[in-house]
């Protein structure tokens, strides 16, 4: 498996001089093609901060993130935006769906943002077809016209995953994707993510407190004292009740 993503000596500070919070203290990690990596750790350990830095949603104070060999935080803004939108996908604990749009429109959103108005009109049919296929793949064809408030938590997360898939990312960053779901629904979301990994060879980096999910990943990491270390498959990643 080739190396897809590599974080090298990442540091992140929050706050001004004097009261500086040193959240990430030299994080190193690698993700290979099609790999599933989970990250556990106590609340406030810096897991979301790291995920945002890996996925170009935030900048490190120092250190480098390489995606296919390119130092991504050193790229011009336009390339960064394109990479964030095309190569990377995100799934969050609280879904972040737009309440006024129905499920299908929420899934279509990244494609609308990526295309110019003219390009969108020219490709609308094709893009809508793709969104419909993805909704079908995540098992929500019957719900495609529902607004987020008319969907269950698990259904909302499926739509958020479908939206993340719209631009066919090579790596999907998930920040506690089952954090807001009951155990049965969490299991279904995990099975969906795993099947996407197998089908599309899409790498997954998942921040999670869910032991089942972590145990079934290729590699379990734990964040402590601002650093990442390998966690043993025998230990519950817990960290929170
Ligand atoms: N924008 C910010 N400004 C200042 N401090 C921040 C900011 N974002 C996060 N922090 C602090 O950095 C630390 C790490 O936050 P982060 O959200 O990465 O933790 P986490 O491991 O994801 O926690 P949780 O499991 O609760 O989601 C916390 O102490 C948090 O208060
Ligand atoms: Mg977090």
> If you measure from the C-alpha of residue 223 to the centroid of ligand 2, how many angstroms do you get, rounded to a whole number?
12
Domain locations along the chain: 33-54+91-230
Query: What is the per-residue pLDDT for 208?
Result: 93
Of ligand 1's atoms, which has the minimum distance to the CA of residue 15? 4
Q: What is the mean pLDDT of residues 196-215?
A: 91
Q: Are 166 and 177 in contact (CB under 8 A)?
A: no
* Secondary structure (3-state) at 134: helix
Q: What is the pLDDT of residues 34-93, one digit of tens each?
A: 999 999 999 999 999 999 999 999 999 999 999 999 999 999 999 999 999 889 999 998
> If you measure from the C-alpha of residue 47 to the centroid of ligand 2, how many angstroms do you get, rounded to a whole number?
6
Residues with a beta carbon under 5 angstroms from ion ligand 2 = 48
Q: Examine the pLDDT at 240 and tell me if it is beyond 80.
A: no
Q: Examine the pLDDT at 22 and tell me if it is beyond 70.
A: yes
Average pLDDT, the chain: 90
Ligand 1 site: residues with CB under 6 angstroms?
A: 14-15, 21, 23, 41, 43-49
33-54+91-230, what's its fold?
Rossmann fold (3.40.50)
Pocket test for ligand 1, best of 13, 14, 177 (most atoms within 8 A of CB): 14
- Burial class of 41 by CB neighbour count within 10 A (0 to 12, 13 to 18, 19+): buried
pTM attached to this predicted model = 0.92
Query: Which ligand has the minimum distance to the alpha carbon of residue 20?
Result: 1
pLDDT band at 241 (very low <50, low <70, confident <90, very high): very low
Q: What Å distances lie between residue 115 and 68, 94, 112, 130, 146, CA to CA?
A: 25, 26, 5, 15, 25
Ligand 1: residue whose CA is nearest its atom 10: 14
């Amino acid at each position: 498996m080739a190396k897809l993503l590599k974080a090298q000596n990442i540091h992140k500070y929050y706050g001004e001089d004097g009261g500086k919070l040193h959240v990430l203290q030299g994080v190193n990690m690698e993700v290979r093609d099609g790999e599933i990596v989970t990250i556990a750790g106590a609340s406030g350990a810096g897991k979301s901060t790291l995920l945002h830095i890996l996925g170009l949603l935030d900048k490190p104070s120092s250190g480098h993130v390489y995606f296919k060999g390119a130092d991504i935080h050193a790229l011009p803004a336009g390339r960064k935006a394109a990479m964030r939108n095309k190569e990377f996908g995100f799934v969050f604990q609280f879904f972040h769906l737009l309440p006024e749009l129905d499920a299908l429109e929420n899934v279509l959103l990244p494609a609308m943002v990526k295309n110019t108005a003219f390009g969108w009109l020219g490709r609308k049919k094709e893009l809508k077809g793709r969104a419909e296929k993805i909704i079908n793949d995540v098992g929500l064809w019957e719900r495609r016209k529902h607004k987020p408030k008319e969907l269950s938590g698990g259904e909302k997360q499926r739509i958020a995953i479908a939206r993340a898939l719209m631009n066919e990312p090579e790596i999907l960053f998930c920040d506690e994707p089952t954090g807001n779901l009951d155990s049965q629904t969490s299991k279904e979301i995990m099975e969906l993510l795993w099947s996407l990994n197998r089908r599309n060879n899409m790498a997954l980096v998942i921040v999670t407190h869910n032991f089942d999910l972590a145990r079934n990943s290729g590699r379990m990491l734990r964040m402590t004292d601002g650093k990442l270390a390998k966690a043993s498959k025998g230990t519950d990643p817990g960290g929170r009740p």
